[in-house]
Amino acid sequence: MRALIQRVTEASVSVDGQIIGQTGPGLMILVCAMQGDDETAAEKLAARIAKLRIFRDDAGKMNRSLADTGGGALVVSQFTLAADTKSGNRPGFSAAAPPDQGRFLYELFAAALRALGPHVETGEFGAEMKVSLVNDGPVTIWMDSADRG
């Protein structure tokens, strides 16, 4: 699975003009299930993100995790993280998991993160969504479950 993680002071996602998910200080996580991903990939990625030390400690260093801060997370499905831009001007998305598997792994990822303690809200899989956020820092981190065993 791939994730784009942004440390935020606030974030929200809306569908048809209605906010369906939001968080205060914490993380905005765009996530994409890739071909070949399984439950283990979703659970491991959630655990890595929960422990990711990108929040400031008392000395101002990025040394605290989401778990340490008690912050929340907004998780939004984002199949375009699978974009292949190696040739041409139109990205290809064939590396993304099929929609049914993508939905399953997206929901599993959000549930696994929630089980680790943070308050987690989500977008709506497959919907046309509007995402708003205030990136804190700015801090933006790219993670891929294929990068680690």
Mean per-residue pLDDT, 134-139:
96
The CATH code of the domain at 2-81+92-138 is 3.50.80.10
Q: pTM for this structure? A: 0.95
Domain ranges of the chain: 2-81+92-138
CA distance 29 to 128: 17
Q: Structure tokens of 106?
A: 């997206």
Confidence of residue 148 (pLDDT cuts 50, 70, 90): low
Confidence of residue 61 (pLDDT cuts 50, 70, 90): very high
- 69-126 per-position pLDDT tens digit: 999 999 999 999 999 999 889 999 999 999 999 999 999 999 999 999 999 999 999 9
- Percentage of the chain exceeding pLDDT 90: 95
* pLDDT beyond 60 at 149: no
Q: Among all residues, which ones are annotated catalytic?
A: 78-80
